[in-house]
Structure 1
Amino acid sequence: MDGRAVAPAAGTVLNALATGTGSAFAIDLETTAAVDLTDDGEVVGEIAARPEADATLIERCAALAIEAYADAADLDSAAMGARIRTDSDVPMASGLKSSSAAANATVLATLDALGVADAVDRLDACKLGVRAAREAGVTVTGAFDDASASMLGGVTVTDNTNDELLAREAIDWHALVYTPPEQSFSADADVSACQRIAPMADLVAELALDGRYGEAMTVNGFAFCGALDFSTGPLIDALPDVTGVSLSGTGPSYVAVGDRDRLEAVADRWREREGTTRLLRTRTDGTRTT
């Protein structure tokens, strides 16, 4: 019994660290998960090309999915194990939601292996991955904003405190992503500094819920660059040629949206910086079995 699923990465509209309200949108970078169910009761994960990487998150995702849905598949969850392998073009610890993509892909691949993927509500599947992320200690907020954007596609606004979806829109944008060479782990972010800019985060949430995502991103970008001590240089490079630009997550990546021709001009400026620049599209289809 095997299953396979693919999940997109995401960029940030509003970082949830300040108030618990967050917003993100899916982008065309993917993580693939393959899950083989076993009868030895062991859940073992592997991250392709990174044998030293901690696989706790994907192992917990598969275990929770088995625990929750094996009975629906008329299988004995107590005796069931899994072998999980993920492969990704999403750089890790880059602010592009690699953990959320890995969690979503693993949960859905496990449900696919169980034969129940089509019967499980996508938000319920998403919440399993969020729970696994919290238990694995790879997130501060639970990342329901990032996970919901990756699972559902489009842009989402969420209350991460209560895992509540406040809004979703199936936007179709061009997106530009700049990723410096360093890494930044969200679990290490200065939460207290982020909480001090809560009034700015409230403004960003109002803009996002009003559908003014570009303005929301830009306000978020300047506010969180200040709180998390990242350079605003890439934001300045992008303005006024983009609809919106922000630090993505807790960095170090930056993401901009707008007209393709103007994004290409920004890409030329970003490529003068050390790191990787990618011109992408947003995704509206979210996580899917393959």
Structure 2
Amino acid sequence: MQGRAAALGAGTVLNALATGTGAAFGIDLETRATVELDPDADGVVGTIAEDPDADTDLIERCVSLATDRWGDGEGGTVRTDSDVPLAAGLKSSSAAANATVVATCAALGLTVGDDPTDPAIDVTRLDACRLGVEAARDAGVTVTGAFDDATASMLGGVCVTDNGADELRSRAEIEWDVVVWTPPDRAYSADADVARCAAIASMADLVADLALDGRYAEAMSVNGLAFSAALGFDPDPAVDAMPHAAGVSLSGTGPSVVAVADPDDPETDLDAVAKLWSDRPGTVLHATTDSAGAFVIDN
């Protein structure tokens, strides 16, 4: 009873902390999970390859919830490895949860897909996503439930969600080049100042309107400036990038900043953004958007 799966990292269009409405987009950085189930095992033991001392409550909870709901309560082991930097605002928790839930379904012999009317589909990706969000709340790694981050990681594309109701409001496929700057510091979503974010709810409503109108890049830039101020991050990296990018934002609760551009737009230059950001401490990553989402890795 073994399953392997991968899920995406993601960048932010709208931070959901202010109003509960959020938006995010999948990028081609992956977290992979390997799950081995044993009906005789007492509980679940998790390992995170990049940090053996890291808290594994989230991925262990994902396996337990999945086997309780769709299996017979099997225990076992789960191991993740990832291209997504931890605690950097690039949705590492959502990616780990999604990969783990899909891998657990694979270990149970269940088919995960998108069409709930297809008799060949045992578990929809949205239901798998909701279970991962439930595990994240149980593990205390999120304030909002991060359904926006989770759907972008699971489904790919850009997703706008109601995080209070765990409902997908819209989804679109996009093709952007992406540059990410991650400073040396780390920030944890559960530590974010929710009250400060609530103070900019009117700006978040504006960002939501832009996103629901399909103006995702503009929405990002407004979100980035507003939430950098609310969460106490320096807006200079985003401002420096704006002349060269279609959109740029603080991702999640930071500290990463993400810039995007249509690869066919001659008025944008993400290489220039990368050069500017490479003068700052930290790392610069090049990526692209991904509209395919999470998938099972064939053994």
Residue aligning to 2:234: 231
Residue aligning to 2:64: 63
Deviations 1:118-143 (CA, angstroms, capped at 9, x unpaired): 32110000000000000000000000
Residue aligning to 1:6: 6
Deviations 1:196-237 (CA, angstroms, capped at 9, x unpaired): 000000000000000000110000000000000100111111
In structure 2, C-alpha distance between the alignment counterparts of 1:215 and 1:82, rounded to whole Å = 45
CA contact (8 A) 1:241 1:266 kept: yes
Residue aligning to 1:154: 157
User: Structure 1 length as normaliser, TM-score?
Assistant: 0.96
Number of aligned residue pairs? 283
Are 2:204 and 1:208 aligned? Answer: no
In structure 2, C-alpha distance between the alignment counterparts of 1:49 and 1:129, rounded to whole Å = 21
RMSD: 0.9
CA contact (8 A) 1:37 1:81 kept: yes
Are 2:145 and 1:145 aligned? Answer: no
- Per mean C-alpha deviation after superposition, the further-off stretch among 127-136 and 255-264 is 255-264
CA contact (8 A) 1:108 1:117 kept: no
Partner-residue secondary structure (3-state), 2:159 = strand
- Per mean C-alpha deviation after superposition, the further-off stretch among 269-278 and 41-50 is 41-50
> 1:1-290 alignment to 2 at 5 Å?
1-38=1-38, 39-70=40-71, 76-77=72-73, 80-118=74-112, 119-260=122-263, 262-290=269-297
In structure 2, C-alpha distance between the alignment counterparts of 1:171 and 1:116, rounded to whole Å = 29
Partner-residue secondary structure (3-state), 2:243 = coil
In structure 2, C-alpha distance between the alignment counterparts of 1:269 and 1:65, rounded to whole Å = 44
Partner-residue secondary structure (3-state), 1:240 = helix
Residue aligning to 1:73: none
CA contact (8 A) 2:175 2:262 kept: no
How far off is 1:165 after superposition?
0.3
Residue aligning to 2:119: none
In structure 2, C-alpha distance between the alignment counterparts of 1:149 and 1:30, rounded to whole Å = 12
Deviations 1:78-112 (CA, angstroms, capped at 9, x unpaired): xx212000001111110000000000000000000
Higher helix fraction (1 or 2): 1
In structure 2, C-alpha distance between the alignment counterparts of 1:31 and 1:99, rounded to whole Å = 9
CA contact (8 A) 1:145 1:157 kept: yes
Partner-residue secondary structure (3-state), 1:239 = helix
Partner-residue secondary structure (3-state), 1:231 = coil
In structure 2, C-alpha distance between the alignment counterparts of 1:115 and 1:232, rounded to whole Å = 47
In structure 2, C-alpha distance between the alignment counterparts of 1:114 and 1:67, rounded to whole Å = 11
Unaligned residue ranges in structure 2 (runs of 5+)? 113-121
User: Structure 2 length as normaliser, TM-score?
Assistant: 0.93
Deviations 1:178-204 (CA, angstroms, capped at 9, x unpaired): 100000001000000000000000000
CA contact (8 A) 1:264 1:279 kept: no
Unaligned residue ranges in structure 1 (runs of 5+)? 71-75
CA contact (8 A) 2:261 2:270 kept: yes
In structure 2, C-alpha distance between the alignment counterparts of 1:234 and 1:163, rounded to whole Å = 32
In structure 2, C-alpha distance between the alignment counterparts of 1:69 and 1:15, rounded to whole Å = 32
CA contact (8 A) 1:173 1:282 kept: yes
In structure 2, C-alpha distance between the alignment counterparts of 1:228 and 1:177, rounded to whole Å = 19
In structure 1, C-alpha distance between the alignment counterparts of 2:218 and 2:205, rounded to whole Å = 13
CA contact (8 A) 2:50 2:82 kept: no
In structure 2, C-alpha distance between the alignment counterparts of 1:259 and 1:194, rounded to whole Å = 30
User: Percent identity of the aligned residues?
Assistant: 63
How far off is 1:259 after superposition?
4.1
